[in-house]
Amino acid sequence: MDDQTRIEIEAAAFRRLQKHLMEDRQDVQNIDMMNLAGFCRNCLSRWYQEAANARGIEMSKEDGREAFYGMPYGNWKAKFQTDATPEKQAAFDVAFKENVLGDKG
């Protein structure tokens, strides 16, 4: 497979993941994703932003979130985010520290 085809396939897989998370499974909470998988929609939006910035495209955190979520993040939260239990929040604190901050110990 040539590089251009690989890139196109990877982009299509990313778009399908984005559709799955944004349209098909809006019920799945970011905190649950983070606790189980170590990443969530916000991570994906940050990676999108970082990739743009690495290519010289100025994109803020909020711009990256809006690009990924397809709407301002506050709108998404108001429509789909539910309150987390104290247990989920405690697990998130650990997952965030390990997976986002890189502090495994």
Which percentage of the chain shows pLDDT scores above 90? 74
| Distance (Å, whole) CA 30 – CA 19 | 15
* pLDDT, position 28: 92
Which percentage of the chain shows pLDDT scores above 70? 97
Asked whether residue 11 is domain-assigned, the answer is yes
DSSP string, 41-73: HHHHHHHHHHHHHHTT----HHHHHHHHHSS-H
Asked whether residue 29 is domain-assigned, the answer is yes
Q: Tokens at residue 50, please?
A: 């970082």
Expressed as residue numbers, the domain containing 47 is: 3-99
Query: How many domains in the chain?
Result: 1
pLDDT at 105 over 70: no
Mean pLDDT of the chain: 91
Asked whether the whole model's pTM tops 0.85, one would answer no
Q: Residue 49 contacts by C-beta under 8 Å, 6 or more apart in sequence?
A: 59, 60, 61, 63, 64, 65, 67
CATH of the domain at 10: 1.10.3340.10
Classify residue 93 as left (phi > 0), alpha (psi -120 to 50) or beta.
alpha
Asked whether residue 104 is domain-assigned, the answer is no
* pLDDT, position 48: 94
Where is 104: in which H helix or E strand? none
Residue 103 banded pLDDT, cuts 50, 70, 90:
low
Asked whether residue 87 is domain-assigned, the answer is yes
Residue 104 banded pLDDT, cuts 50, 70, 90:
low
